[in-house]
Structure 1
Amino acid sequence: MPHPRRTTLTRRGLLVAAGALAAGTTQAQGQGYPNRPLRLIVPFPPAGAADVMSRVVAEAARAAFGQNVVVENRSGGGGTIGTEAVMRSAPDGYTLLMANQSTHSVNPEIRENPGLDPVAMVPIASVGNVAQVLYVRPGLAARSVPELIALAKASPGQLTYGTAGIGTGGHLAMMLLEAHAGIELNHIPFRGTAPSTAAVLAGQVDMMIDTMPTALPHIENNAVRPIAVTTTTRHARLPQVPSLTEAGFNDYEAVLYYALYAPPGTPDGIAARLGEGFETTVAQPAVAQRLNEMGCDPLPVPRAGLGAHVAADRARWRAVIRRAGIRIT
């Protein structure tokens, strides 16, 4: 009777087998995914730019995934609470974050105890770039940037500006303006864009740098007076409003990126499936048009380059933060 044939499995063979098993598992995960609704966490309150953009993308993404994408606002800590909630979620592709400059470029740099560093998260897809607008309350005696600067220099620290919180895009943009113009303003932080905007509309705060999606309705209703945009050139949605560069502040730019991220450890197959689905969604003409109408411009950065794009932005704002001495304990 012949002896059974022995099989010798070398170390190289073990590694190959393990690699094949891992690849097969990731591939199976990607193929069977998704089979239930996805959650898109917005780490800011409702009605802000991140929220309204997330809802446009989530609604359209159903066609790409065959599942609902449910938007959930989890605000607090300038975006840190929602960000860390996603980072602690299971890396199974069912929980995503609408990230932006605050969550990935600013918060890790301004906080004494930053907690989890979002650099460990997995990039999924770019959503867009969002310009900001400097506007003032209608009763303020300033119809241009030079007039505003003159008012500020005449009364140092008296003019007030509102923001959605310390370290938010509007806050840093105003601090950058103060540094460029050599002026001192009085910062009034609120808990979100909506209450900050309401204070300007009520005449309780003099001015604000707000994102284009949330500023446009108030500008179109003549409820506030726009005097500059934060892009280097005029913006197509507000062609009558000069840029701060045009107003004499060379190299001034404060544009926010928005992008989708998944928890650390998300498998490559699932990340690729998510990336493909959301990139296709954002590129749809109807979705692109809705985002454009809000003032969200395309961000032509593929998933593979998103990490480097965000790292460069973080380095740029790190210099601004350190020069201004912004720290949150």
Structure 2
Amino acid sequence: MTTFRRRALLQASAAAIPLALTHRFAFAQEKFPGKLITLIVPQPAGGDADVVCRSLQKKMQEVLGQPVIVDNRGGAGGNIGTALGAKAAPDGYTVTFVNQGTMALNPTLYPNPGYKVDSLAPVTWLTSIDLVIVANPSLPANNLKEFLELARKEPGKYTYGTAGNGSANHLAGEMLKSMAKVDITHVPYKGGGPAIIALLGGEVSTVVAFPLAALPHIKGGKLKALAVTGSKRSKALPDVPTVAESGVSGYEFASWMGLVVPKGTPDTVIQSIHNAAAAALKEKEVAERLSAGMTEPVGAGPKEFGDLIAREGQRWSKLIKQYGMKID
């Protein structure tokens, strides 16, 4: 073999090596998912966020063909867990649960929440949900109208607990205070579950709660429902009036939940995760459980969820300033 031919073969072989590695890498990237997926929930166990995610977990695992683990990272109104999710590798193996608080309220409420909304890519709009205002049975009021009358007679005496500063229920409570013109002290907890436990123990007068965590205690007689925040009564609590029916004309509040991944995650990966979440929401058992908890399954995709986040961010930025809402 001539020296010229030998050099030509060596050059061709060298050129083929990077090409082969590129093809192998591309093939590996296409095979999503190839390992365990972590679903970060920026709230403690026991709250509505945790209940929703664990309801979806089994079906998502089945569709994706890989384990999906729920990792509760509560604190700072959801900022800690959301920031952790935003900093993860954009490969689809870290998915973060978000809600109205972390995506529409905290970016305005906190000088530095630890993440930027545009550093997260929308995956699925999971649910729409009305809240419920609940009280300890010892409270001398059987509905919201009676409670507001008590609060007006003794300003500052009564309290309301929430899942934390910047949470959706915090805003719902501040809206109520402003529109009803009452002085009720906000007491933030590290999640919906801890807030309910505090109410059961008599630490606070009331809690503005996500219903999935509160309903079992209402049904069991350990808590009493004063009002629901939506535009109409809930099928789960048909005898409980809305806030508007309780004398606060024009009041209406609904929250939402969804999934996001770090910006830069491939569209095909985002679609795979969305498909798994949407399939889980369609499961009869999951849909019935959520509906019974005043939570409406939605299942809309990345485009619809992204549009919702943008609209809500603009809307609540204005309302936060209007209601003078601040971090306690």
Q: TM-score range by the shorter chain?
A: 0.7 to 0.9
Q: For residues 1-329 of structure 1, what are the structure 2 equivalents within 5 Å? A: 28=27, 31-299=30-298, 301-328=300-327
Conservation of the 8 A alpha-carbon contact between 2:290 and 2:296 = yes
State the Cα distance separating 1:219 from its structure 2 match. 0.2
Could you say which residue in structure 1 is the equivalent of 2:15? none
Matching residue's letter, 1:62: Q
Conservation of the 8 A alpha-carbon contact between 1:78 and 1:165 = yes
Between 32-41 and 160-169, report the one with greater CA deviation.
160-169
TM-score norm. by structure 1 comes to 0.87
1 CA distance for matches of 2:26 and 2:105? 35
Between 290-299 and 52-61, report the one with greater CA deviation.
290-299
Q: For residues 210-242 of structure 1, give each alpha carbon's deviation from its aligned partner in whole angstroms, at most 9, with x where no partner exists.
A: 001011011011111111001110011111111
2 CA distance for matches of 1:261 and 1:26? 25
Conservation of the 8 A alpha-carbon contact between 2:174 and 2:325 = no
Matching residue's letter, 2:206: M
1 CA distance for matches of 2:187 and 2:39? 30
Task: Please provide the CA RMSD for this pair.
Answer: 2.0
2 CA distance for matches of 1:171 and 1:105? 13
Query: Equivalent residue of 1:246, what SS?
Result: helix
Query: Equivalent residue of 1:298, what SS?
Result: strand
Q: Percent identity?
A: 33
Could you say which residue in structure 2 is the equivalent of 1:14? none
1 CA distance for matches of 2:134 and 2:76? 25
Query: Equivalent residue of 2:244, what SS?
Result: coil
Matching residue's letter, 1:42: V
Cα distance, 1:243–1:63 mapped onto 2, change above 3 Å: same
State the Cα distance separating 1:156 from its structure 2 match. 1.0
Matching residue's letter, 1:71: V
Query: Equivalent residue of 1:165, what SS?
Result: coil
Cα distance, 1:147–1:327 mapped onto 2, change above 3 Å: closer
1 CA distance for matches of 2:28 and 2:181? 55
2 CA distance for matches of 1:173 and 1:248? 16
Query: Equivalent residue of 1:265, what SS?
Result: coil
Number of aligned residues: 306
2 CA distance for matches of 1:225 and 1:282? 29
Q: For residues 168-207 of structure 1, give each alpha carbon's deviation from its aligned partner in whole angstroms, at most 9, with x where no partner exists.
A: 1221111110111011111122222233222221223111
State the Cα distance separating 1:250 from its structure 2 match. 3.3
Conservation of the 8 A alpha-carbon contact between 1:26 and 1:267 = no
Cα distance, 1:195–1:270 mapped onto 2, change above 3 Å: closer
Matching residue's letter, 1:200: L
Cα distance, 1:114–1:191 mapped onto 2, change above 3 Å: closer
2 CA distance for matches of 1:187 and 1:259? 26
Conservation of the 8 A alpha-carbon contact between 1:43 and 1:81 = yes
TM-score norm. by structure 2 comes to 0.88
Query: Equivalent residue of 2:214, what SS?
Result: helix
State the Cα distance separating 1:315 from its structure 2 match. 2.3
State the Cα distance separating 1:300 from its structure 2 match. 5.5
- The answer for unaligned runs of 5 or more in structure 1 is 1-23
State the Cα distance separating 1:85 from its structure 2 match. 0.8
2 CA distance for matches of 1:42 and 1:26? 31
Query: Equivalent residue of 1:96, what SS?
Result: strand
1 CA distance for matches of 2:178 and 2:28? 50
Query: Equivalent residue of 2:265, what SS?
Result: coil
2 CA distance for matches of 1:29 and 1:105? 36
Matching residue's letter, 2:121: V
1 CA distance for matches of 2:85 and 2:194? 26
